Structure 1
Amino acid sequence: MPIDTVERFLAALSPHDREHVRQQPREEQERLAAAWETELEEDTDLNTLSELSPAAAESEAATRVVKGLFE
């Protein structure tokens, strides 16, 4: 997984969530970033939001992915 995907994923997170994800092993960060990209690609609601605000869509998808990590 290219580092830019992980970095983009981290940038989309809130500061608290970003710090928590950074504490995870690199493989887990890459897995989460891949899940984030899948969420962005497959969720039609996010596609609509992305047309209005790409940053908001990325943040929402990142929040959903990390929420699963904390549960």
Structure 2
Amino acid sequence: MPSETVTRFLAALDPGHREEIARRPDEEQERLAAAWETELAGDELDTLDELSPPAAESVAARRVVEEPDR
């Protein structure tokens, strides 16, 4: 069963990425979810987070999945 962080991370992804990430091993999902939480804690999303927390979560999730060094 996925952790709460993985569940929230998957929910923040668009449907195509969600399906792709859900097929990956649990360890990789956990690693990406941890990177997502780090991204959320960064300063770049502060304004967006204040305006729309779900939008900030979605942007952070997209960044984590689309950056090749993650």
RMSD: 1.2
> 2:27 aligns to what?
27
2: distance between equivalents of 1:49 and 1:8?
Answer: 18
Q: Does 2:66 correspond to 1:67?
A: yes
Q: Which runs of 5+ in 2 are unaligned?
A: none
In the TM superposition, 1:35-46 aligns within 5 A as: 35-42=35-42, 44-46=43-45
Q: Does 2:3 correspond to 1:3?
A: yes
- Offset at residue 47 of structure 1 (A): 1.4
1: distance between equivalents of 2:10 and 2:45?
Answer: 18
Identity %: 64
> 1:16 aligns to what?
16
TM-score (norm 2): 0.90
Q: Which runs of 5+ in 1 are unaligned?
A: none
What SS does the corresponding residue of 1:47 show, helix, strand or coil? helix
Larger relative helix fraction: 1
2: distance between equivalents of 1:54 and 1:46?
Answer: 9
- Structure 1 residue ranges (4+ consecutive) displaced by more than 6 angstroms after TM superposition: none
